[in-house]
Chain A
């Protein structure tokens, strides 16, 4: 004979077990699965960076911070420019002072605790600049780890953050292999590059693309075969960052080399 206490316990377990996996009862729809794989829309935003053209002026970082209301003097930024200097003895020095916001005006390279490292002109075997921004991955790990559905991907491939829904747990910041996410110093929620969603949805280009004097940054629609950016991505030798993570990044680089992480 069952007593009341035991009956209550077992009822709770049974009801809990029935309620929790409600998703298991959803009717499977093949068209949903196909849409998940290929998408229905006519737009898939992608970015093209030409590292051979970038001169490290940092106008993109400046414009991005103003356009997207990221506090100008806080040491956080949605996009940044890295400098890579390889010396004749095979060492590589990398820095990005203030994210490259004020450009690169000195030969001295910031090596954090080791101080400023000056490399003489004759010691340089190779030097170049690499702009970085959110890769708007096709498999965004930052979205997968969000426990509340505050970050998500739109139909056109841009990963956005819902500021009213984000609880500030920081999982997405840890989950991004490219370190493009940070806490917004004012709103205290996760913040990231969204390809200037308010601009591209109006037919404009991103603020960084418009600010770049050298056309080192370009944005295009991968689903439009006549888009000049799509043509370059489809026909030229482009590369992506950290391919081994399987995130399918959608920021493509021309002239990338193995030093770039």
Chain B
């Protein structure tokens, strides 16, 4: 074949090889089609592992009674036993190693999430005893009178009853 025919063919081959070569450089080796097929499973496989290594912050209430047995006994028979410790005490991360201590959220905001009364009879909310946060001692923190681990009205702090 004549040279003027072959030359552009070489150019084309060089372009194709160039594209394929750059592609192998840019696209990670584990990028491909996986379990869910072309439509839903075309991805970089190692990203699944990356998502699995996200740090777990909320460790649930399972391990709390091991050290805080007194607190566990105080709350276990109260209606608040259904609330995870971490909802008020914050995520435990790797407590007691890191952090050494947990902060306690004593703000009214936390209590009124459920105990701001809403007359919604068709939802569970209507059955929760509640107050109007705008008129019920708005200047005070709830824990000044109420014991969060044992919240029934008769269990108010003694100084409140007197």
Do A and B associate with each other?
yes
Within the assembled complex, what's the spacing in Å between the Cα atoms of A53 and B126? Answer: 11
Q: Does B162 count as interface, using CB distance less than 8 angstroms?
A: no
Q: Does A127 count as interface, using CB distance less than 8 angstroms?
A: yes
B contacts with A, residue count (CB < 8 A): 51
Excluding A54-B124, A151-B43, A164-B47, 11 further A-B contacts by CB distance (< 8 Å) are: A55-B114, A55-B124, A58-B113, A106-B116, A126-B122, A127-B123, A144-B39, A149-B42, A198-B52, A211-B58, A211-B84
Say yes or no: A57-B84 contact (C-beta < 8 A), given A162-B47, A165-B44.
no
Whether B56 pairs with A202 at a CB distance below 8 angstroms is yes
Whether A152 pairs with B36 at a CB distance below 8 angstroms is yes
Whether A66 pairs with B57 at a CB distance below 8 angstroms is yes
Pick the contact of A105: B9, B82, B123, B133 (CB < 8 A).
Answer: B133
Whether B116 pairs with A214 at a CB distance below 8 angstroms is no
Write the nearest CB–CB distance from B151 to chain A, whole angstroms: 13
Whether B114 pairs with A57 at a CB distance below 8 angstroms is yes
Q: Does A178 count as interface, using CB distance less than 8 angstroms?
A: no
Say yes or no: A129-B125 contact (C-beta < 8 A), given A58-B113, A204-B56, A210-B60.
yes
Pick the contact of B122: A128, A164, A201, A214 (CB < 8 A).
Answer: A128
Determine the residue in chain A with the shortest Cβ distance to B57: A67
Write the nearest CB–CB distance from B138 to chain A, whole angstroms: 12
Q: Does A80 count as interface, using CB distance less than 8 angstroms?
A: no
Whether A52 pairs with B56 at a CB distance below 8 angstroms is no
The segment from A36-44, A169-177, A224-232 that touches chain B is A36-44
B1-40: contact bitstring with A at CB < 8 Å (1 yes, 0 no)? Answer: 0001100110010001000000000000001001111111
Chain B residues with CB under 8 Å of A32's CB are: 37
Q: Which 9 A-B pairs have the closest CB atoms?
A: A103-B113, A152-B43, A127-B120, A36-B37, A198-B54, A155-B35, A105-B116, A121-B119, A55-B125
Say yes or no: A63-B128 contact (C-beta < 8 A), given A55-B123, A107-B118, A155-B36.
no
Whether A153 pairs with B36 at a CB distance below 8 angstroms is yes
Chain A residues with CB under 8 Å of B4's CB are: 4
Whether A153 pairs with B113 at a CB distance below 8 angstroms is no
Say yes or no: A213-B125 contact (C-beta < 8 A), given A36-B36, A149-B42.
no
Within the assembled complex, what's the spacing in Å between the Cα atoms of A103 and B114? Answer: 7
Interface set of A (CB-CB < 8 Å, partner B): 4, 7-8, 11-12, 15, 19, 23, 32-33, 35-36, 39-41, 51-59, 62-63, 66-69, 85, 102-107, 121, 124, 126-129, 140, 143-144, 149-155, 160, 162, 164-165, 194, 197-199, 201-202, 204-205, 207, 210-211, 213-214
Pick the contact of B41: A59, A152, A214 (CB < 8 A).
Answer: A152
Whether B43 pairs with A198 at a CB distance below 8 angstroms is no
Chain B residues with CB under 8 Å of A124's CB are: 119-121
Whether B39 pairs with A143 at a CB distance below 8 angstroms is yes
Q: Does B83 count as interface, using CB distance less than 8 angstroms?
A: yes
Whether B124 pairs with A150 at a CB distance below 8 angstroms is no
Whether B112 pairs with A103 at a CB distance below 8 angstroms is yes
Say yes or no: A213-B82 contact (C-beta < 8 A), given A11-B12, A36-B36, A66-B91.
yes
Whether A154 pairs with B35 at a CB distance below 8 angstroms is yes
Determine the residue in chain A with the shortest Cβ distance to B112: A105
Chain B residues with CB under 8 Å of A67's CB are: 56-58, 91
